[in-house]
Amino acid sequence: MTAAILDGKALAEELRAAFKARVAMLAAQGQRPGLAVILAGEDPASEIYVRNKVNACEAAGIFSQKITYPVDVAPATVLLKIAELNADPRIHGILVQLPLPQQFDAKTILEAIAPEKDVDGFHAANVGALAQGIPAFIPCTPYGVMKMLAALDVSLAGKEAVIIGRSNIVGKPLALLLINAGATVTVCNSKTRDLAQHTRRADILIAALGKPRFVTADMVKPGAVVIDVGINRLPLEEGGKLCGDVDFEAVKEIASLITPVPGGVGPMTIAMLLANTIESAERKSKS
């Protein structure tokens, strides 16, 4: 079997076209959605992610503010800026790009963001709401994965879903979403014993561990839906290109559906950030 390829780029473009009307409606009510993105340090990957997020806002008509700090910025400076943004009526979403430089305690920073502006869904209040099945803001990457599964009519109730990766950004929130959707969920990590024994049971296999081509064909059940969240840069001697956590060429011969890298989950993450920012502005305009 050769898998159908899930085109995240096309789906994200469809969603983004629909966002424009919602943004225009809000702007007409004097409530143009606004997103502030904070970047501390000069991590090259983070710089690219932040640039993509800001450009996507502009294309959708969302007001965006990019705030950059040198790598040695004092955490108190960033906390002060967050307090200012929490009180700024033009700003409906605040995102602090992770990872933060080593002098930061990420938790303290994320908890300083007002939960109603936490469009990343990382604040404990939003994580708790998600755990209870009453989500306020769903973290963007897991939200994008769920949207892709829904767009493809992948049924989840009673299915075996296996996630490799237990991060707060992807693995854990995605596990909650899949549990809430009625799937039987297993969360593995790099230390899981006999990992392949788990992954081979998966109807839906999600790789989110950040290791290039880690998931090989022998780890995949024939006909599985395979979602690749990884974005890894290959060494220059291997071409320097982006690749996912899944050995795409081999696994596509086994799976029924598979997401490519690039052009799979990545564009959906940005689309869902826009969705959360618009949703935040809509809530504000109704309040």
Q: How far is the CB of 118 from ligand GUN (least distance, A)?
A: 10
Which of 116, 118, 120, 228 binds ligand GUN (CB under 6 A)? It is: 120
Nearest distance from C-beta of residue 71 to ligand GUN, angstroms = 16
78 makes contact with ligand GUN (CB under 6 A): no
Closest CA to 204 of 183, 177, 226: 226
Q: Is 153 left (phi over 0), alpha (psi -120 to 50) or beta?
A: left
Stretch that binds ligand GUN, among 8-16, 91-99, 151-159, 202-210 (CB under 6 A): 91-99
Q: Which of 97, 221, 245, 247 is catalytic?
A: 97
* By CB under 6 A, residue 126 contacts ligand GUN: no
Catalytic residue among 31, 117, 118, 120: 120
DSSP letters spanning 141-181: HHHHHHHHHHHTT---TT-EEEEE---TTTHHHHHHHHHHT
251 contacts ligand GUN (rule: CB under 6 A): no
53 has catalytic annotation: yes
* Position 96 contacts ligand GUN (CB under 6 A): yes
* Residue owning tokens 């709401």: 129
The verdict on 95 binding ligand GUN (CB under 6 A) reads: yes
103 is catalytic: no
CB neighbourhood size of 138 (10 A): 25
Q: Can you tell me whether residue 69 is helix, strand or coil?
A: strand
97 catalytic? Reply is yes
For residues 278 and 19, is the Cβ–Cβ distance under 8 A? yes
Distance in Å, CB of 273 to ligand GUN, minimum: 8
User: Per this entry, what is the length of the chain?
Assistant: 287
Count interface residues toward ligand GUN (CB under 6 A): 8
Rounded Cα distance between 191 and 203, Å, is: 22
The contact set with ligand GUN (CB under 6 A) reads: 95-98, 120, 140-141, 169
- Catalytic site residues? 53, 97, 120
